[in-house]
Amino acid sequence: MDTSYIWHLFYLHRKKSIAVGLLLTLLIPDLRAQSSMRYRRIHLEDYEDRTIRYGFLFAAPITRFNIKYSDAYVNADSAYQLYSPNKAGFRVGFILNTILSNRFDVRITPAVSLYSRSVESRYPGGTGKSEVRESTWVDFPVLLKYKSQRRRNSRMYMVGGASLGLETNVRRREVAGSSRLLTKNKDLSVEYGIGFEQFFEFFKFSPEIRFSHGLVNLFEPVQGNTANIGLQKLRTHTVTLYLNFE
């Protein structure tokens, strides 16, 4: 009789025991997850304490000319297609970043860029002509940076500003009657983009995509230059992938 009574007690509390067991099964993984999150290491915690930060960058620009056609393209040029294809370049430079607040920075990224822009003409019969402008530019972008709230070791950001470009390997002005495409050696562009910051133990890595739209007409007409036919304005357009290290 006593033995039956003991088993009866287990039977009465069996449902409660099962419920408690299930509750512990659900809570233990959550407690472990909270414990691992609590002790996850945050790199460069004092990053915002220094007002000025330095770094370097590598970049791969894809660039072309935005063409505005002249009346001669319809009336005097025999080409049925006149366009500027996308061409890859290379850029390397330095980063000077000044922290203004928890949300805003001022960013200067002087760099040396190697470009190869061209204007392609296509004629009936399958013939064509390519005017290539290979050049080295020194760029001085000044950007305002807006940062999101930092989530442990990562955050997003946006940049926007302007860039002054100076061509360094300027050729001598072509004489009348030449057929080489001529462009000016100074450019001013509007730039904007978005990036992602990842903090590591000793440095910060930031991949970034940035768009650039030239404001200056780089086309330089020369009397008698056959490369001028059909062109009125040439403005730069560039999309660049940056790899920033700070």
CATH of the domain at 92: 2.40.160.20
Residue 142 and residue 79 in one domain: yes
30 pLDDT more than 70: no
Q: What would the pLDDT profile of 124-144 be if each residue is shown by its tens digit?
A: 777 777 888 888 999 999 999
Domain of 33, in residue numbers: 2-38
Mean per-residue pLDDT, 47-65: 92
Binned at pLDDT 50, 70 and 90, residue 8 comes out as: low
Residue 184 and residue 102 in one domain: yes
Residue 8 and residue 108 in one domain: no
Residue 92 and residue 6 in one domain: no
Residue 212 and residue 105 in one domain: yes
The pLDDT score that the predictor gives to residue 120 is 86
| DSSP sequence for the chain | -HHHHHHHHHHHTHHHHHHHHHHHHHHHHHHHHHHHHHT---S-TTGGGSSEEEEEEEEEEEEEEEEEE-THHHHT---SEEE---EE-EEEEEEEEEE-SSSEEEEE--EEEEEEEEEEEE-TTS-EEEEEEEEEEEEEEEEEEEE---BTTEEEEEEEEEEEEEESSPPPPPPTT-----B-SEEEEEEEEEEEEEE-SS-EEEEEEEEEEE-S--B---TT-GGGTTEEEEEEEEEEEEEEE-
Q: What would the pLDDT profile of 181-205 be if each residue is shown by its tens digit?
A: 788 899 999 999 999 999 998 999 9
Q: What percentage of the chain carries pLDDT values higher than 70?
A: 74
Binned at pLDDT 50, 70 and 90, residue 176 comes out as: very low
* Number of domains into which the chain is organized: 2
Residue 185 and residue 101 in one domain: yes
Residue 10 and residue 30 in one domain: yes
The pLDDT score that the predictor gives to residue 71 is 73
Binned at pLDDT 50, 70 and 90, residue 86 comes out as: very high
Looking at every residue in the chain, the average pLDDT score rounds to 82
Residue 123 and residue 205 in one domain: yes
51 pLDDT more than 60: yes
Pick from 31-45, 104-118, 174-188, 208-222: least confident: 31-45
Binned at pLDDT 50, 70 and 90, residue 63 comes out as: very high
Residue 175 and residue 205 in one domain: yes
Pick from 61-70, 128-137, 184-193, 208-217: least confident: 128-137
The pLDDT score that the predictor gives to residue 36 is 47
Residue 32 and residue 140 in one domain: no
Residue 96 and residue 140 in one domain: yes
58 pLDDT more than 80: yes
Residue 68 and residue 159 in one domain: yes
